Structure 1
Amino acid sequence: MIGGGAGHEPCFVGYVGKGLADAVAVGNVFSSPPPDPIVQCALAASNGEGVLFVYGNYAGDVMNFEMAAEMAEEKGVRIKTVLTTDDIASSPIDDKDGRRGVAGNFFVFKVAGAACDKGLSLDACEIVTRKANSRTYTIGVALEPGSLPQTGRHNFEIGPEDMEIGVGIHGEPGVSRDRIRQADEIVDGIM
């Protein structure tokens, strides 16, 4: 089961299906789903073996999914959790647990879904998903600023010849700025 705020389409709803997630709970734009819908999804998705929660490392998601896990377990559903932590720009190299989940979410979701479809146990699915997460590293690059749908205002200003490196999933400013270059040059610079 996956989840998070709306406004990231096709994520999260677009990642439900064969070899992907069995259920998704979606909140308002850029806001975590509340615990109750998460619990309802977990109960609907449970086949008696338990449910694996996979979601990005954001305070609201962590709080609400943790509450939902407790509530679901009180109803007899075993829950395991994997937080996606792929964004290397959001936390120092020695603090992987502090990193956000951004574009790498999708790879981790796919691995989790494939492991579940293969019929692995809940514990084995958690192990495989954690391994995928531990080997997934991303950094966002933007040629234009993001904006909040509620206001339409840009989150930062950037010149037409510049790119922002390390942007967040909600369009937060990055950690550095550079001139626009070819994709292979950008990757070489990041590496």
Structure 2
Amino acid sequence: MKKIINEPGTVVAESLRGLAVAHADLLRVVDDPAQVLRVDAPVAGKVAVVSGGGSGHEPLHGGFVGPGMLDAACPGAVFTSPTPDQVHAAVTAVHGGAGVLLLVKNYTGDVLNFETAAELAAADGIDVRTVVIDDDVAVQDSTWTAGRRGVGGTVLLEKIVGAAAESGADLDTCERLARAVVADVRSMGMALSAPTVPHVGTPSFELAADEMEVGIGIHGEPGRARTPLLPADALVASLLDPILADLPFAEGDDVLLFTNSMGGTPLLELYLAHGIAEDVLAARGIEVKRRLVGPYVTSLEMQGMSLTLLRLSEEMLSYWDAPVHTAALRWGR
């Protein structure tokens, strides 16, 4: 295992210290329990949007804390859910009097721990709502999660709902919008190599030089199939076809296309794949209104990619275009 670390047990804490000094204008980090908070939180009268999950997926979630997106992120250990006390502390720290919306990826630990934190906050008199995202179409019958996993669509959810909260939308509106995004977003990923968790020290799975895994999860969970490596055209089709069939997407739909690197895929290859996906969608009469390309939901150094499609309403489009200023996503300011 070759990694730029000191000790496996201190990776997350040391990374958070670096995040804090690199982006002190946007966020502050609390060490115990670990939280990444918007620097001006709590914002009085604003719905606070909180998310989080295991570390190792950076910039998700801490890189999306700031104006127009998240008020707080709760980083767990690598590929491990944050604890209820972390989430409860973050909710308390950013609550500005208008309620708190929790955006949770559909993994058993995340869901249970965020629900426990919501109950603790409710006992404090805070109005807390929870929306779970489960956009991974790869999951059919899974022993790894309770249903479909939350993956690339999480970024789009956090941006759109964060913009709504920034604009002054109330908690009911933010919750309704979040559920609308969850209903209309679908994702699927693939891998050419596995991630290596620092405290484990070995790859989470092995692939032969001529193999790929289609449908992997962001923690290295198994996919739908292990197949011979395909040329890019066929590889993109293997991801897009199940996405398009699942909603289903149809001719005339306006969409946001998110082409995501799992951490080890160079932009040369990622843009190549994105261009192919755009051509496929255009041939089916689906118009790509907005795009996002880059490493935004990663799995340590996994070489691979995912595609995410969101069917856009005018409301979603307006909030996607709204200003955002975070460590990893920024425009319009």
Cα distance change of structure 1 residues 132 and 160 upon mapping to structure 2, 3 Å threshold = same
Select the residue among 157, 161, 168 that pairs with 1:108.
Answer: 157
Residue pairs, 1:100-179, within 5 angstroms: 100-179=149-228
Structure 2 residue ranges without an equivalent (≥5): 1-49, 242-333
- Larger deviation, residues 153-162 vs 42-51: 153-162
Mapped partners of 2:153, 2:208: distance in 1: 27
Select the residue among 119, 124, 130 that pairs with 1:75.
Answer: 124
Select the residue among 21, 31, 38 that pairs with 2:80.
Answer: 31
Instruction: Give the C-alpha shift of residue 83 in structure 1.
Output: 0.7
Render the CA deviation track for 1:54-96: whole Å, top value 9, x for unaligned: 020111111111110010011111001111101111236xxxx
CA contact (8 A) 1:155 1:173 kept: no
Question: What is the TM-score of this pair, normalised by structure 1?
Answer: 0.92
Instruction: Give the C-alpha shift of residue 183 in structure 1.
Output: 3.6
Answering whether residue 103 of structure 2 is matched by residue 54 of structure 1, we say yes
2:253 aligns with none
The DSSP-based 3-state class of the residue aligned with 2:185 is: coil
1:15 aligns with 64
Cα distance change of structure 1 residues 184 and 108 upon mapping to structure 2, 3 Å threshold = farther
- Structure 1 or 2, whichever has the larger Rg, is 2
Question: What is the TM-score of this pair, normalised by structure 2?
Answer: 0.54
Mapped partners of 2:172, 2:140: distance in 1: 28
Structure 1 residue ranges without an equivalent (≥5): none
- Larger deviation, residues 24-33 vs 179-188: 179-188
Render the CA deviation track for 1:136-170: whole Å, top value 9, x for unaligned: 11111111122322112222221122211011111
Amino acid corresponding to residue 156 of structure 2 in structure 1: F
Mapped partners of 2:169, 2:136: distance in 1: 28
Aligned length: 187
Mapped partners of 1:75, 1:184: distance in 2: 53
Which stretches of structure 1, 4 residues or longer, exceed 4 Å deviation after superposition?
none
CA-based RMSD:
1.5
Mapped partners of 2:238, 2:54: distance in 1: 31
Mapped partners of 1:17, 1:101: distance in 2: 22
Amino acid corresponding to residue 135 of structure 1 in structure 2: D
Answering whether residue 91 of structure 2 is matched by residue 42 of structure 1, we say yes
The DSSP-based 3-state class of the residue aligned with 2:172 is: helix
Higher share of residues assigned strand: 2
Select the residue among 220, 236, 241 that pairs with 1:187.
Answer: 236
Answering whether residue 148 of structure 2 is matched by residue 99 of structure 1, we say yes
Render the CA deviation track for 1:15-46: whole Å, top value 9, x for unaligned: 11121101111111111111112111111111
Mapped partners of 1:61, 1:156: distance in 2: 23
Mapped partners of 2:66, 2:118: distance in 1: 22
